[in-house]
Amino acid sequence: MPNNNVTRFLDSRQIHYKTFELPKLKLSAEQTAEFLNAPLFIIFKSIVVERQGTGKPILAVVPGDREVNMKKLAKAMGEKKVSPATQKDAERLTKLKAGGISPLALINRGFEIVIDESVLNQELVHISGGEIGLNIRLPSSDLLKITGAKVTKISG
Question: What pLDDT does 1 receive?
Answer: 61
Check pLDDT > 90 for residue 48.
yes
Which amino acid belongs to residue 103? Answer: P
Q: How many Cα atoms are found within 13 Å in the side-chain-facing hemisphere of 67? A: 6
Q: Yes or no: say if 154 and 62 are a contact pair by the CB < 8 Å rule.
A: yes
What does the pLDDT look like over 3-20, one tens digit per residue? 899 999 999 999 999 999
Q: Yes or no: say if 57 and 50 are a contact pair by the CB < 8 Å rule.
A: yes
Assign 2 a pLDDT band (cuts: 50, 70, 90).
confident
Domains recognised in the chain with CATH numbers? 5-99+109-152 (3.90.960.10)
Average pLDDT over residues 54-76: 95
Q: Yes or no: say if 102 and 6 are a contact pair by the CB < 8 Å rule.
A: yes
What does the pLDDT look like over 23-36, one tens digit per residue? 999 999 999 999 99
